[in-house]
Amino acid sequence: MDNTTTRPEQAEIRLAEYKPPVFLVDTVELDFDIRDDRTRVSSRLAIRRNPESAERNAPLVLNGQGQKLVAVRVDGRELAAGDYVLTDKTLTIRAVPDEGVVAIESDNDPAANTALMGLYAAGPMLCTQCEAEGFRRITYFPDRPDVQSRYRVAIHADEDRYPVLLANGNLVENGKEAGGRHYAVWEDPFRKPCYLFALVAGRLDKVADRFLTRSGREVLLEIYTEPGRSSETGFAMAALKKAMRWDEERFGREYDLDRFMIVAVSFFNFGAMENKGLNIFNDARVLGRADTATDADIAFFERVVGHEYFHNWSGDRVTCRDWFQITLKEGLTVFREQEFVGDMNSPAQERLRTVSVLRRVQFPEDAGAMAHPIRPASYQAVENFYTATVYSKGAEVIRMIQTLVGREGFRKGLDLYFERHDGHSATCEDFVRAMADANAIDLGQFMRWYAQAGTPVLDVTSRYDADSRAYTLEVEQRCPATPGQDTKEPFHMPLRLGLLDARGGDMKGDMVLKLRRPRETFVIEDVPEKPIPSLLRDFSAPVRLNYDYTDAELLVILAHDSDGFNRWDAGQKLFAKYALSGEALPDAFVTALRTVLMDKDLEAGTKAMTLTLPGEEELGLALIARGERIDPVAVCEKRRRVIKALAGALSGELWATYREIAAGLDEEASDGVARGQRSLKNLCLAYLHRAEPGKVAPVAARVVSGARNMTDKIACLDILVDGDAALAARALAEFAETFAGQPSIMDKWLGVQAAERHAGVLEKVRRLMAHKAFSLNNPNRVAALVGVFAGNPFGFHAEDGSGYRFVADVVERLDRLNPQAAARYAKPFLRWRDFDAGRQALMQEALRKLAALESLSINVREVVTKALG
Ligand code: 0A1
Ligand code: ZN
């Protein structure tokens, strides 16, 4: 007997095979009967054959997964089992009228739902997550974003256990029921795709406020938390009001419902979700005060609250036709979020942050085994494509359009886009067409950004002719091959630049060259002296740019360029060069950095960013660009060597800066300025620790136990863990005792230890997995421990392969609970080709072991097969 099992080939779903839905659903009535052992969901769907569908006689096929079907009715008649076909993914009903009502009852088991998609128990509450394909786990439905419906939702539950019952839209009715139960009915007047559906039930605390829209409507704002955490909502509420005002002022977009709700939940796979009128947030992205959250967390609250709020227009009012178009809403919304955060704080710092994240996270993705265009052409598990490429590179593509058409032109284009598509689903073509039409320009070639993967490279050379005073730039563009795309067509992109004189003065102001061809020559006339080109100002396109700068030219740019981005980037280039070559830091560079540090007019946050070396990932990428392979441990050491040298040379200034800021900074302040000052202060201390560990460790130890500010505590805990075993052990124990029972704070404690740049880190992480602060069921705990470990060169990349085996093992175990989360930790293996031969072999071995498993989710299997492919 042949007992080998064959694994069915996994299906690639393709954009080119898009077909309009066969049936539309105009209205949806849902009834949730929440009981201790199950939740019964009853639906009434008003269905109608779609006139746009070519499949005139096709049956009604509803998606459905992981629930128990109880009954199906068509126009009031209950169907017998033979009247429909039920599989583990679909419910097919052949005998349906062209227009009618389908009613379905099914049972959900939220307590058993560890995948956190659909209806699930999040600690003491029930909540939902439907993007991308979670609604099908709640009830049988055509679960696709081009089916948009009006919803009326009734929820019934025990009043004591679930006093708060929420869904999208407006509360239209509520009251008591027999047996200590109660109910609420919600109606959403806007048509929406089912992925924007949301429901929350539980015992929740609430903070409320009001917002007056510019047309004079009053909106009720509510933030709900688990009991005891409402004092941590201040930043989020302030951010929400700022976001609402900003979207009116900058883009003319007003809020449209009477109520806007945010719920913070403690089990969530992503950062947050833009469900219409009822945003659901990972509590780590919305709750905290200066004594419970770090400045980085707090900065994120404003960003994420803004992001989800902005989706109300870019995502909810105008949504995506299909899941290939995620960047239509995400790229645009990230762009809007970046503009908002810049306007609320410092636009220059926001740009530096954005680009460094892009380079650190998106560039490697775009060079790896799962590189994809911002609009992928195919996928197996759509959740694998909520990526840095779709989000961050997508936002850069939107930004390039703004650079090409100007801010006013962009606003006109966006208005036209919303006007044309309000209440409907759209495609990336629709967006670009609105921009082109509003500005009467041709963006045909520009569409290649949506179809071609890989980070383009610009090779630039120049010559200056003193006699004719002409400056010539030759620009060549190329784009490396990516999986499935061997050759690329040239991109249309803006190259912003300036020309500096020998003292760094701008000779010509800002110019924007429009690149379209593989090789182009630009002649700039009337240039008085041989210039230093300041190329790719403001990072005007998501590319790598090569130009053969001398160190002296970079120093001029660093000191004087009027473009803040290029000043910072010149420093980054010099840092990378000295770190990778092992050359000593030249005095001129140290002097330039000293000038930055002591500059009275420069914001502290900008100083901190200028003094921060490119990260280990970026240095690794610089090696790849030179055709070398990465030894991550060696890269970490090279980086440390530069920090040590710099700290030695600037010791006096670093101590002076540290002391001055420490003396004047209010521990409770967490506005943008205070955050910048704190980041500079803690950078000074961390740098000094490399050069003078004996002097810094006691200072750090005092801060960990004495400070009330969480940013300071964690920065100093990091320092201790990095250097002084005895002090670290004591500080960690004290921290754990103080914050036991506060899981989001204990996540930081886990993370600090998983980040330890030391060979023994795996053993520690193994032990921590058994600690009561850890749980494989909670994505935040897993991110704090396993996620941080996966970015640790001494952990994940340990030379003996132990880190790879450990992470692969976690992926296997986690996959049984939460496939989306598991796939996230399989992704670091996608880059195996970037590392030295020994590590390549060990990473492939771990991948093969995973690939050989019989039962893997499609999420993990897609990553593993593409990694090996
Ligand atoms: N749309 C959300 C993020 C999000 C994406 C996918 C999810 O499940 C697969 C959940 C949330 C945002 O951009 O904020
Ligand atoms: Zn989003």
Report ipTM (2 d.p.). Answer: 0.99
**pLDDT number for residue 7:** 47
Distance in angstroms (rounded) separating the CA atoms of residues 74 and 369: 47
Share of the chain above pLDDT 70, in %: 99
Q: Cα 84 to the chain's mean position, in Å?
A: 41
> Helix or strand or coil: residue 263?
strand
Are 266 and 780 in contact, with CB atoms under 8 Å apart?
Answer: yes
Largest CA distance in the chain: 95
268, 300, 312, 386: residue to mutate for ligand 1 pocket, most atoms within 8 A of CB: 386
- Based on the number of CB atoms within 10 Å of its own CB, is 78 exposed (0-12), middle (13-18) or buried (19 or more)? exposed
Which uninterrupted H or E stretch holds 501? none
For the Cβ of 272 lying below 6 angstroms from any atom of ligand 1, the answer is yes
**pLDDT number for residue 101:** 98
Radius of gyration of the chain (CA): 28
> Closest Cα to atom 6, ligand 1: which residue?
131
Name the pLDDT band for 2 (thresholds 50, 70, 90).
very low
Structure tokens at 57: 């006689």
Distance 31 CA to ligand 1 centre (A): 25
- Based on the number of CB atoms within 10 Å of its own CB, is 855 exposed (0-12), middle (13-18) or buried (19 or more)? exposed
Distance in angstroms (rounded) separating the CA atoms of residues 774 and 750: 8
For the Cβ of 131 lying below 6 angstroms from any atom of ligand 1, the answer is yes
> Helix or strand or coil: residue 174?
strand
- Residue pLDDT, tens place only, 532-574: 999 999 999 999 999 999 999 999 999 999 999 999 999 999 9
For the Cβ of 304 lying below 6 angstroms from any atom of ligand 1, the answer is no
**pLDDT number for residue 238:** 98
Say how many C-beta atoms besides its own lie within 10 A of residue 706's C-beta: 10
Distance in angstroms (rounded) separating the CA atoms of residues 752 and 721: 7
Cis peptide bond upstream of 622, omega within 30: no
Structure tokens at 312: 């109300």
What is the number of the ligand 1 atom nearest to the C-alpha of 820?
9
Distance in angstroms (rounded) separating the CA atoms of residues 372 and 450: 10
> Closest Cα to atom 3, ligand 1: which residue?
273
Task: Please compute the mean of the pLDDT values over residues 620-639 and round it to a whole number.
Answer: 97
Protein residues placing their CB within 5 Å of the ion ligand 2? 330, 333
SS3 content of the chain, % helix, strand, coil (to 5): 45, 20, 30
Distance in angstroms (rounded) separating the CA atoms of residues 362 and 39: 41
Torsion of CA 86, 92, 93, 94, to 10 degrees: -120
User: 29 CB contacts (<8 Å, ≥6 apart)?
Assistant: 43, 44, 151, 152, 153, 154
- Residue pLDDT, tens place only, 425-475: 999 999 999 999 999 999 999 999 999 999 999 999 999 999 999 999 999
**Nearest ligand, CA 337:** 2
> Closest Cα to atom 12, ligand 1: which residue?
273
Task: Please compute the mean of the pLDDT values over residues 387-396 and round it to a whole number.
Answer: 99
267, 270, 305: residue to mutate for ligand 1 pocket, most atoms within 8 A of CB: 270
- Residue pLDDT, tens place only, 230-289: 999 999 999 999 999 999 999 999 999 999 999 999 999 999 999 999 999 999 999 999
Distance 273 CA to ligand 1 centre (A): 5
> Helix or strand or coil: residue 503?
coil
**pLDDT number for residue 724:** 83
Task: Please compute the mean of the pLDDT values over residues 827-849 and round it to a whole number.
Answer: 98
Are 550 and 463 in contact, with CB atoms under 8 Å apart?
Answer: no
Distance 339 CA to ligand 2 centre (A): 15
> Closest Cα to atom 8, ligand 1: which residue?
131
What is the number of the ligand 1 atom nearest to the C-alpha of 117?
8
**pLDDT number for residue 742:** 98
Q: Is the pLDDT of residue 4 over 70?
A: no
Structure tokens at 716: 């100093």
Cross-strand bridge partners of residue 27: 46, 150
For the Cβ of 269 lying below 6 angstroms from any atom of ligand 1, the answer is yes
Distance 132 CA to ligand 1 centre (A): 7
Name the pLDDT band for 1 (thresholds 50, 70, 90).
very low
**pLDDT number for residue 5:** 38
User: 247 CB contacts (<8 Å, ≥6 apart)?
Assistant: 253, 254, 309, 310, 313, 336, 340
Distance in angstroms (rounded) separating the CA atoms of residues 434 and 243: 25
Which of these, 758, 750, 769, lies nearest to 724 by C-alpha position?
A: 758
Q: Is the pLDDT of residue 388 over 50?
A: yes
Place of tokens 């629930």: 67
131, 192, 280, 307: residue to mutate for ligand 1 pocket, most atoms within 8 A of CB: 131
Distance 400 CA to ligand 2 centre (A): 19
Q: If you write DSSP's letter for every residue of 534-557 in order, what string do you get? A: EESGGG-SSSEEE----HHHHHHH
For the Cβ of 382 lying below 6 angstroms from any atom of ligand 1, the answer is no
Structure tokens at 73: 């009715």
| Residues found in the chain | 869
Place of tokens 């492919």: 869
Pairing label, strands 13-14, 84-86: unpaired
> Closest Cα to atom 2, ligand 1: which residue?
273
> Closest Cα to atom 1, ligand 1: which residue?
273
Which uninterrupted H or E stretch holds 591? helix 587-598
For the Cβ of 386 lying below 6 angstroms from any atom of ligand 1, the answer is yes
**Nearest ligand, CA 274:** 1
- Per-residue DSSP letter, 784: I
Distance in angstroms (rounded) separating the CA atoms of residues 780 and 283: 9
- Residue pLDDT, tens place only, 640-675: 999 999 999 999 999 999 999 999 999 999 999 999
**pLDDT number for residue 10:** 64
Are 491 and 515 in contact, with CB atoms under 8 Å apart?
Answer: yes
Are 184 and 171 in contact, with CB atoms under 8 Å apart?
Answer: yes
Q: What's the N-to-C CA distance of the chain in angstroms? A: 32
Task: Please compute the mean of the pLDDT values over residues 141-145 and round it to a whole number.
Answer: 98
Say how many C-beta atoms besides its own lie within 10 A of residue 249's C-beta: 10
Place of tokens 């670091």: 828
Distance 321 CA to ligand 2 centre (A): 16
**Nearest ligand, CA 273:** 1
Average pLDDT value for the chain: 97
Active site residues: 308
Distance 392 CA to ligand 2 centre (A): 11
* Phi/psi of residue 201, nearest 5 degrees: -140, 135
Are 404 and 435 in contact, with CB atoms under 8 Å apart?
Answer: no
Distance 334 CA to ligand 2 centre (A): 7
Q: Cα 508 to the chain's mean position, in Å?
A: 37
Task: Please compute the mean of the pLDDT values over residues 386-406 and round it to a whole number.
Answer: 99
- Residue pLDDT, tens place only, 175-204: 999 999 999 999 999 999 999 999 999 999
Are 507 and 528 in contact, with CB atoms under 8 Å apart?
Answer: yes
What is the number of the ligand 1 atom nearest to the C-alpha of 304?
14
For the Cβ of 308 lying below 6 angstroms from any atom of ligand 1, the answer is yes
- Residue pLDDT, tens place only, 818-834: 999 999 999 999 999 99
For the Cβ of 274 lying below 6 angstroms from any atom of ligand 1, the answer is yes
- Residue pLDDT, tens place only, 575-614: 999 999 999 999 999 999 999 999 999 999 999 999 999 9
- Per-residue DSSP letter, 127: E
